[in-house]
């Protein structure tokens, strides 16, 4: 900075500040300020021209008055005039005033921009620095429009001084963050990457911050930065603290730059070049080794800097998830921090280990610290650390330790902070369901959960218990006995009454043979809780009573007396009154057969994923360990070699709401969130929006295609210009399933949820913006060839052309299969991101087998039909090598997922698989028989398909062959 001359002391400003500080009251301060404002105004309006010093002094006073909280409505022009001064201090005060007081809508902005341009063109490093600081401080869109094209040139110019390069990099970063669409990508992008090799570490630090932000949005443009970042990191990590003396902080060489370089590397997958990858591994090993060395200083600044680099290195190891040795070492290092006296280190260690637990390489290493984590749960004083301990226990849980972890969580729940009780309840419910080897343990756990923290047990949790009990015959009697015993406690939580009322209403007959739980005792026990419950629970209990009329005719009179009482028939609540009247009438006039039909046992619920997981995700927000765990499963276990199945990948439709316990009407709309997508992705939670529930399709109904909001069709008949991404891989992934992530890159994630019935289907496409920047002109288009258009009728609903950063939009596609088809439609997506046009295409997984309806057949019928389809043109056979492990259960699941019925005990060879189904189209129905013969020794399959149409046989054979 230039030396300050003797006359720059501004004594008048010092006197004014002193006067303000000496004021005894607010009124005195305002009086002094008003006097000064009047004096400054008169000076500015006077005939005598002010010199630069006077302007600077008065502008400084105005700035001080503004900082005291008073409005300033003049002096802006004088500040702009100071920008043209050649004196540093005057120009500095002018820029300071403009940065603080001038807004982007000011009429002076053009004059200010001209002054800034002059300073940027002056090649005076001091003036250029002031101008760049002003641009960054204002950071408005107008500034970006004016200078976003100039600053990159300054940044990469060969004659620019290091201090100016630093300022230019940070200024460009500020403009990119506020207006990314105005910062043009060009030739400078390849040159700015080479700033990572600059000799001045200040330039490297600023450039790394800029490149990291740019690479997050435009990874391909900056992928050459990986090798340079590894090279620079290697030099820093292997250097002694004396080598980088100016950038060494408490014996740690360039810690901030190291952290920034490690974050930059997290924008990319592991380097493909073996040399670069080996050098990066050496760097990470060196960082882990240094963490084991004795500290070179006892100062907290030393340990903070050292640990900052260490935790960022561990984050990179976790991000790459490819080096088992490094992952285990990172886990062991974090394990040492779990008992550190510094609270922040314990918190960070627990948080990082949560992510490590989701890696197949380090999961076992994380589990070795279970006792330490449990101890932290019991003894830790900081609630945030206890919460992270709960997260880690949840993440490290598997079948081997589930009962121990659930028991510890239940114990902690009794004394847990109120702020995290609901979250713990959800996690216990999820783990108990997911890892239960015995359903009786699951029922006991959930009932214990209700007893300990009933107020925090949401509807989703007790819905799940009922759904699982209804779907499992072997646990129904035990559940009825257990809830009966639990209800005998003097004080029961209302959620327990709901569970007990529902289960006894369905399965109370299973325990009625015991005199201690006779029908009358069951009824009296439930009715003793009636007056203590809320209206919805009373409504459920009334439904249970009418169920008892069917189950136990011997207590019908007792129940009718209760329903006939004035407290029910004349109840102030219309819902209770209506139920009492209708149930009493039903029990009076209906015959035994009608009662048995109307009040029959609830049928099993469809198998779907748990809605509790969706509620936990919603509560925790994106990026949680739950999301990471689900993503790992999605990547590792599609239909090909699936992971260990959960207890029941169960049920969320319709919840056993007290409003429709008997199933007499359509399922009521509840407030519980729908279940999560099986993909477990961060953005595409395809069940999270109530509007995404797939409405039932009426077979043969034209209403599915005549809805006014779906009438806007975007189906066109031209081919997309660009390549279809991973067409075969993505296509075959969805042949045997309907939900999941279809496509994902750095910017966009596309998820699907679909349902098909006969020749109709409906597909929900979810587009997730993974960036923090808006997608503009977002236009997804479904493209069909001419041949496909005649066979497949698609209608799409338009989507909002703007997708906010981190947001998700949904598009509905209605599908009608007119006749059999061979191709698949193309989904073309075009949008503008960060000033660049994006265009991609993927195949939509609408395949002929989606219109399969399974057909059950006896062995005799199957082979009789098999012989009828003996024409050579009706049969297609394929012998092929197994691409995946030959597991019988997985094979069965794939055949069922393909759409056909799996026929047991039909083929004389029990190792073979046979299936049957009908392809439904609008014009015809095509019967299909299939036979799959595995040869375990040769690791080969023979697949035979027979249909009444050769092209259909060929297509189905192609699709199914790719699954094994």
Residues annotated as binding site?
11-12, 43, 53, 57-61
Tokens of 485: 């015993």
Give, in order, the Cα–Cα distances in Å from 960 to each of 303, 732, 880, 922, 927. Answer: 58, 9, 11, 23, 16
The helix (H) or strand (E) run that includes residue 418 is helix 418-434
Q: What are phi and psi of 612, to 5 degrees?
A: -65, -40
* Partner residues linked to 925 by β-bridges: 920
Q: Which residues of 647-664 are buried (b: 16+ CB within 10 A; e: fewer)?
A: bbebbbebbbbbbebbee
- Which ranges of 621-685 would DSSP assign to H, the alpha helix? 625-636
Q: What are phi and psi of 826, to 5 degrees?
A: -110, 135
β-pairing, 792-796 vs 760-769, is: unpaired
Contact 483, 471 (CB under 8 A): no
3-state SS of 507-562?
HHHHCCCCHHHCHHHHHHHHHHHHCCCCHHHHHHHHHHHHHHHHHCHHHHHHHHHH
Give, in order, the Cα–Cα distances in Å from 223 to each of 235, 268, 269, 272, 417. Answer: 20, 8, 10, 11, 46
Of the candidates 850, 798, 800, the residue with the CA atom closest to the CA atom of residue 824: 850
Place of tokens 């450039």: 207
- DSSP helix/strand/coil, 860: helix
CA atoms within 13 A on the CB side of 615: 23
Distance CA 894, CA 638 (A): 11
- DSSP helix/strand/coil, 934: strand
Residue 560 exposed, middle or buried by CB count within 10 Å (0-12, 13-18, 19+): middle
* Partner residues linked to 253 by β-bridges: 248
Q: From the CA atom positions of the chain, what is the Rg in Å?
A: 36
Of the candidates 268, 266, 309, 263, the residue with the CA atom closest to the CA atom of residue 290: 309
Tokens of 953: 């046989």
Residue 257 exposed, middle or buried by CB count within 10 Å (0-12, 13-18, 19+): buried
Contact 266, 318 (CB under 8 A): no
Percent of the chain as helix, strand, coil, to the nearest 5 = 55, 10, 30
DSSP characters over 839-853: EEEEE----GGGGEE
Give, in order, the Cα–Cα distances in Å from 475 to each of 366, 486, 609, 669, 808. Answer: 34, 16, 20, 28, 40
Give, in order, the Cα–Cα distances in Å from 413 to each of 167, 430, 431, 450, 616. Answer: 52, 15, 15, 11, 17
- Sequence-distant (6+) residues with CB within 8 A of 262 are 233, 309, 312, 313, 315, 316
DSSP characters over 67-78: HTT----S-HHH
The helix (H) or strand (E) run that includes residue 317 is helix 300-320
Distance CA 208, CA 264 (A): 7
Tokens of 350: 């627990």
The helix (H) or strand (E) run that includes residue 931 is strand 925-935
Distance CA 201, CA 453 (A): 56
Tokens of 223: 């992928």
């Amino acid at each position: 900075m230039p030396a300050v001359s003797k006359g720059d002391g501004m004594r008048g400003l010092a006197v004014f500040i002193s006067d303000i500080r000496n004021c005894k009251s607010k009124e005195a301060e305002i009086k002094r300020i008003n006097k000064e404002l009047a004096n400054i105004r008169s000076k500015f309006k006077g005939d005598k021209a002010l010199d630069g010093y006077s302007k600077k002094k008065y502008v400084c006073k105005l700035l001080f008055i503004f900082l005291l909280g008073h409005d300033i409505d003049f002096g802006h022009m004088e500040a702009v005039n100071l920008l043209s001064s050649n004196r540093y201090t005057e120009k500095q005060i002018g820029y300071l005033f403009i940065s603080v007081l001038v807004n982007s809508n000011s009429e002076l902005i053009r004059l200010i921009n001209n002054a800034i341009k002059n300073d940027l063109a002056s090649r005076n490093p001091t003036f250029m620095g002031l101008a760049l600081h002003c641009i960054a401080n204002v950071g408005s869109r107008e500034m970006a429009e004016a200078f976003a094209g100039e600053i990159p040139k300054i940044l990469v110019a060969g004659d620019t001084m290091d201090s100016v390069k630093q300022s230019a990099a940070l200024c460009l970063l500020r403009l990119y963050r506020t207006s990314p669409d105005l910062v043009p990508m060009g030739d400078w992008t390849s040159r700015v990457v080479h700033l990572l090799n600059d000799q001045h570490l200040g330039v490297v630090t600023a450039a790394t911050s800029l490149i990291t932000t740019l690479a997050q949005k435009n990874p391909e443009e900056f992928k050459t930065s990986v090798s340079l970042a590894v090279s620079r990191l290697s030099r820093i990590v292997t250097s002694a603290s004396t080598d980088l003396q100016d950038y060494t902080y408490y014996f740690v060489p360039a810690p901030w730059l190291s952290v920034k370089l490690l974050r930059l590397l997290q924008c990319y997958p592991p380097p493909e070049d073996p040399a670069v990858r080996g050098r990066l591994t050496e760097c990470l090993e060196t960082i882990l080794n240094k963490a084991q060395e004795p500290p070179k200083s006892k100062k907290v600044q030393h340990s903070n800097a050292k640990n900052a680099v260490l935790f960022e290195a561990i984050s990179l190891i976790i991000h790459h998830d490819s080096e088992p040795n490094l992952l285990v070492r990172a886990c062991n290092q974090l394990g040492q921090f779990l008992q550190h006296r510094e609270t922040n280190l314990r918190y960070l260690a627990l948080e990082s280990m949560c992510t490590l637990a989701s890696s197949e390489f380090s999961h076992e290493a994380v589990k070795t610290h279970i006792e330490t984590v449990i101890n932290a749960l019991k003894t830790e004083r900081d609630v945030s650390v206890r919460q992270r301990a709960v997260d880690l226990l949840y993440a490290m849980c598997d079948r081997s330790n589930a009962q121990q972890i659930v028991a510890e969580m239940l114990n902690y729940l009794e004394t847990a902070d109120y702020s995290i009780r609901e979250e713990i309840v959800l996690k216990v419910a999820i783990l108990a369901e997911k890892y239960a080897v015995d359903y009786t343990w699951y029922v006991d756990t959930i009932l214990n959960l209700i007893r300990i923290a009933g107020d925090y047990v949401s509807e989703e949790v007790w819905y799940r218990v009922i759904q699982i009990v209804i779907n499992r015959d072997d646990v129904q009697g035990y559940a009825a006995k257990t809830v009966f015993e639990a209800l005998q406690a003097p004080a029961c939580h209302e959620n327990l009454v709901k569970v007990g009322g529902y289960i006894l209403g369905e399965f109370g007959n299973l325990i009625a043979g015991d005199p201690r739980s006779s029908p009358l005792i069951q009824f009296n026990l439930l009715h003793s809780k009636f007056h203590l419950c809320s209206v919805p629970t009373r409504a459920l209990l009334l439904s249970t009573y009418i169920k008892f009329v069917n189950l136990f005719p011997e207590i019908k009179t007792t129940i009718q007396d209760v329903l006939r009482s004035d407290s029910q028939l004349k109840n102030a609540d219309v819902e209770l009154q209506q139920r009492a009247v209708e149930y009493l009438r039903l029990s009076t006039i209906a015959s035994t057969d009608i009662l048995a039909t109307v009040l029959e046992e609830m049928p099993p619920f469809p198998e779907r994923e748990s809605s509790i997981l969706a509620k936990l995700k919603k509560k925790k927000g994106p990026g949680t360990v739950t999301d990471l765990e689900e993503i790992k499963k999605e990547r590792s276990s599609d239909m090909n070699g699936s992971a260990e199945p959960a207890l029941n990948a169960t049920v969320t439709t319709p919840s056993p709401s007290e409003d429709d316990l008997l199933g007499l009407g359509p399922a009521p709309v509840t407030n519980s969130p729908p279940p999560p997508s099986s993909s477990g992705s961060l953005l595409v939670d395809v069940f999270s929006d109530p509007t995404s529930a797939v409405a039932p399709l009426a077979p043969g109904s034209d209403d599915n295609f005549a809805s006014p909001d779906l009438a806007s069709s975007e189906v066109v008949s031209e081919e997309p210009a660009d390549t279809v991404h991973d067409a075969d891989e993505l296509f075959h992934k969805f042949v045997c399933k309907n939900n999941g992530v279809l496509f994902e890159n750095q910017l966009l994630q596309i998820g699907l949820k679909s349902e098909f019935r006969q020749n109709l289907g409906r597909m929900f496409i979810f587009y997730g913006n993974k960036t923090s920047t808006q997608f503009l002109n977002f236009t997804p288009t479904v493209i069909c060839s001419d041949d496909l258009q005649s066979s497949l009728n698609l209608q799409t609903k338009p989507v909002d052309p703007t997708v906010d950063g981190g947001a998700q939009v949904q598009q509905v596609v209605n599908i009608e299969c007119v006749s059999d088809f061979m191709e698949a439609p193309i989904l073309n997506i075009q949008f503008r991101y960060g000033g660049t046009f994006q265009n991609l295409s993927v195949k939509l997984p609408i395949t002929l087998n989606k219109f399969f309806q399974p057909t059950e057949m006896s062995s005799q019928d199957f082979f009789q039909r098999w012989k009828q389809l003996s024409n050579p043109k009706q049969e297609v056979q394929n012998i092929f090598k197994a691409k995946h492990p030959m597991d019988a259960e997985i094979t069965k699941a794939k055949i069922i997922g393909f759409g056909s019925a799996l026929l047991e005990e039909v083929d004389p060879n029990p190792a073979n698989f046979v299936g049957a189904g009908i392809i439904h189209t609008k014009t015809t129905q095509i019967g299909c028989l299939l036979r799959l013969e595995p040869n375990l020794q040769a690791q080969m399959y023979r697949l035979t398909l027979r249909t009444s149409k050769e092209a259909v046989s060929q297509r189905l054979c192609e699709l199914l062959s790719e699954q094994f």
